[in-house]
């Protein structure tokens, strides 16, 4: 995935999909971002302590 998605910053270190294939989670160094797989909409994010 070379195109940056709105909502995350920096390099993506990990990706995970929900069991129902409705959500995609992208992890960077300081944040986990949740997207709707069907429309690419940013749903929420979690800031992580460094």
Using one digit for the tens of pLDDT, what is the confidence trace for 1-50?
Answer: 445 555 556 788 999 999 998 999 999 888 899 999 999 899 998 998 86
Residue 1, token pair as written in the block: 């995935």
pTM higher than 0.85 for the full model?
Answer: no
The pLDDT of residue 1 is 43
Boundaries of domain holding 27: 1-50
Structural domain total, the chain: 1
Residue 10, token pair as written in the block: 């920096």
Nearest to 39 by CA among 7, 13, 12, 14: 7
The pLDDT of residue 7 is 56
């Amino acid at each position: 995935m070379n195109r940056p998605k709105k909502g995350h910053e920096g390099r993506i270190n990990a990706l995970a999909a929900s069991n129902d294939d409705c959500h995609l989670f992208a992890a960077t160094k300081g944040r986990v971002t949740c997207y709707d797989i069907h429309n690419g909409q940013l749903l929420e994010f979690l800031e992580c302590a460094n």
